[in-house]
Structure 1
Amino acid sequence: MTALVRGVRTPGTATEVPPALRIRVADHVLAPVTVVLALVAVVCAAVTAAGGSVPVPVQLVPFAVSVLVFGLPHGALDHLVPARLRPGTSTLRSVTVVVVLYLVVGSATALLWVVDPVVGFAAFIAVTWFHWGQGDVFVDRLLDDGASGRVGSAVTLVTRGALPMLVPFAAHPAAATAVVSSTASVVRPGAATAGPEGVPVPVRVVIGLVVLGLVVLHLVAVRRSGAPVWRQAAEDAVLLVFFAVVPPVLAVGLYFTLWHSVRHILRLELTDPTAAAHLHHGRLRAPFGRFVRQAWPITAIAVAMLVVLAVVLRRADLGTYLVLIATLTTPHAVVVTWMDHVQHTWRRRAPGAVLQETGS
């Protein structure tokens, strides 16, 4: 009898992700999200062409939803990651290590924001760029495609992280810098990052050229790896257009909730024996329901932190939420980087720590 279990690469037992599971993930998890982003881009382009604009309350909906659905909760199982990926690690030790990590790294991040909120936001962008890029590298390994090797993985990381982090500043400079200024002012009222015009035109042109160059380099790297280019090209194109035509708040909120968080939750569920078995047999809803049940206690703590922060700062807006996310993202990225190391994510083939077969 064959069972899917958690684990680390063990000689003679690590196996690739079953092809059927790859197809299910690609067709029923990844593709629908790509289609949704493409449709939103079409609608926003049509609204703009008609001389209209997307109402601000509508733009905020994805971020509001992300407080409880996918977004904020997607890191709520970090405390279980060491126990899941290192056999012999007790739950107590796993929780202790991750809690200490969050306290130390999260506090350092918060201190940076207090000292200089503009630098804090810049660091937030840099960490998020890296973290969101590494999420797509893992998906490439899960599907056993994409650019291969460490160089190819680095190209994927830089390109996929650049699309959500850079394109809004080139395509919507005033709106993007307004978010930065508003968030910085949460910690230091009156903090400003740019004038009302946003990013100067020459800088926008440079950003645009850099992003286009990265996309081309990414596709070349995929091609040279011998992997199919169509999925990568389609995703690159959709993301490029999406962030170019959709208002930044709406675009980043949707991407955070539907693209990045869903992919990370899928990664977590593949480290859980029961959820991995459900996925292996084509049951996609059960693992996400299991995640919700496991994640709600930490999610509740994070929501309580958000409420306390809003009361202390006397502000309950997107800027306050982003400050909390920035504080949590840095330690979360450290945990995911450790996962990359243990699961050999930057290798060509699917990570051995994703699934294993054991005879019983």
Structure 2
Amino acid sequence: MEKPKTYINRQVLMHHSSNNNLPKSRQWPLFGYLIGMTALVAITYLYFVDIPVHIELIFFALFVVATGIPHGAVDHIVAADVYKLNQNYKDQLKFYGTYLIVMACLGALWIVSPISGFVVFMITSIYHFGQGDLNWVSSSLKSKTYLRALFVSRGIVLIVIPVVYHWQVTAPIIESASGFDITYIHWLVDHALYIAVIALLQHMMLMLGLIGKIKTRFIVQEYSLVIILAFLFFIANPLVSFALYFGIWHSLNHFFELRDHLSLKNNSTDSFFNLYKHTVPFTIISLIGLVLLWYILGAAGVKDQMISVLFILISVLTLPHMLLINQMYDKKI
């Protein structure tokens, strides 16, 4: 028997308010499972240093395909909610046209000035990842300046440690994509460890501002998450550590936040899988595109450039996605 609409309203609102906007990935027991998985991967690297490259690439691809690509494949649903778009031709053209124009502009920047494209990608990634991790505390903070500083601070941890500390791995990828060799910045590679540690410490210090603003157990959770992620970033191959963060803590969390947001807006109790199934067509299209790209690069004799090309494609997709998600957060109840 279907529940009355008023009952659903009450249940959704009670769930929303009782958790203080806490995303599903921060709720027990799921938080325990996810942080346990993260720690397990880090411990695996601690005791098995020489993990075959093909295993690492499979791990990377698994998370990108499972949640990484799909989490951006629901942007049309986000846009429909944020901009009140209908399923008519005009509204769909408005969304996809704008999305593609933003992508084309950043793509053109990569062509004209690869270094500028790289810088834009780093800046947008830092803010976007930090916002995705910590937007849930926004309702508890009065200072928007502190909130944005917190976003940037978290993003610095997520980008600087894997990129700078593992410069031997990331430098060739960055050079292939942007034409710039970061090893020319001698102080960066000579003091990579210190820079990575400072990136971690600055965020741990800034998070002290959350004391008294959110419950102590949630602060403990965030510190635990940052410490374990940093441990993973330091010890694991950066492709693996980033894939795990991107697939679980960013993309999966995005699905849960969007599900809860839409449930509250629409007075429904839709499941995670009802939302996920909407990503299937766009995910399949993306995978077909990647396979074609693989064969094209192979035919051109530059198949080893696949990761660098993916790097650029991800950056081009990130900017419109970030702008849209930022709008969703601004209008979120």
TM-score with structure 2 setting the length: 0.82
For residue 205 of structure 2, what is the aligned residue in structure 1? 216
Correspondence for 1:17: 16
User: In the alignment, does 2:259 pair up with 1:262?
Assistant: no
Could you give the per-residue CA deviations for residues 203-238 of structure 1, whole angstroms, max 9, x where no partner exists?
A: 5523432431222112x1111425322112111211
Query: What one-letter code is carried by the residue in structure 2 that aligns with 1:245?
Result: I
Residue 120 of structure 1, aligned match among 103, 117, 136 = 117
Match of 2:47 in 1: 46
| Aligned equivalent of 1:244 | 234
User: Partner residue of 1:156?
Assistant: 150
Larger helix proportion, structure 1 or 2?
2
Aligned residue number for residue 76 of structure 1:
73
Change (3 A) 1:148 1:306: farther
1:34 aligns with: 35
The percentage of aligned residue pairs carrying the same residue is 22
1:80–1:94 Cα contact (<8 Å) kept: no
Matching of residues 291-310 of structure 1 within 5 Å: 291-310=275-294
Corresponding residue for 2:189? 200
State the Cα distance separating 1:83 from its structure 2 match. 2.4
Aligned residues: 315
Deviation of residue 257 (structure 1)? 0.9
Q: Which residue number in structure 2 is paired with residue 349 of structure 1?
A: none
Q: Contact 2:82–2:327 (CA<8 Å) still a contact in 1?
A: no
Q: Find the aligned partners of 1:37 and 1:139 in 2 and give their Cα distance.
A: 21
Q: 1:90-101, aligned counterparts within 5 Å? A: 90-92=86-88, 94-101=91-98
- Preserved CA contact (<8 Å) 1:152 1:222: no
Partner Cα separation in structure 1 for residue 64 and residue 134 of structure 2: 25
TM-score, normalising length: structure 1: 0.77
Point out 4+ residue stretches in structure 1 off by more than 6 angstroms.
Answer: 13-16
Does the CA contact (< 8 Å) of 2:137 and 2:214 recur in 1?
A: no
User: 1:77 deviation in Å?
Assistant: 1.4
State the Cα distance separating 1:337 from its structure 2 match.
Answer: 0.9
Cα deviation, residue 22, structure 1: 5.0
SS of residue paired to 2:28: helix
Determine if contact 1:84/1:271 at 8 Å carries over to the other structure. Answer: no
Pairwise CA distance, 1:14 = 7.3
User: Taking structure 1 as reference, are residues 23 and 173 closer, same or farther at Cα in structure 2, changes over 3 Å only?
Assistant: closer
Of 153, 158, 169, the residue aligned with 2:163 is 169
d(CA) in 2 for partners of 1:290 and 1:140?
Answer: 26
Looking at both structures, which has the greater relative contact order when contacts are Cα pairs under 8 Å and sequence separation is at least 6?
1
1:248-297 per-residue CA deviation (whole Å, 9 max, x = no partner) reads: 11111111111110011112222444998447xxxxxxx23223321111
Specify every segment of 5 or more residues in structure 2 that has no aligned partner in the other structure, as ranges.
none
Taking the aligned partners of 2:101 and 2:144, their CA distance within structure 1 comes to 29
Q: For the aligned residues, what is the CA RMSD?
A: 3.1
| Alignment map for 1:219-234 (pairs within 5 Å) | 220-228=208-216, 229-234=219-224
Gap change, CA 1:330 and 1:4, over 3 Å in 2: farther
Q: Which amino acid aligns with 2:87?
A: T
Any idea what SS the aligned residue of 2:182 has?
coil
Residues 60, 253 of structure 1: 8 Å contact kept: no
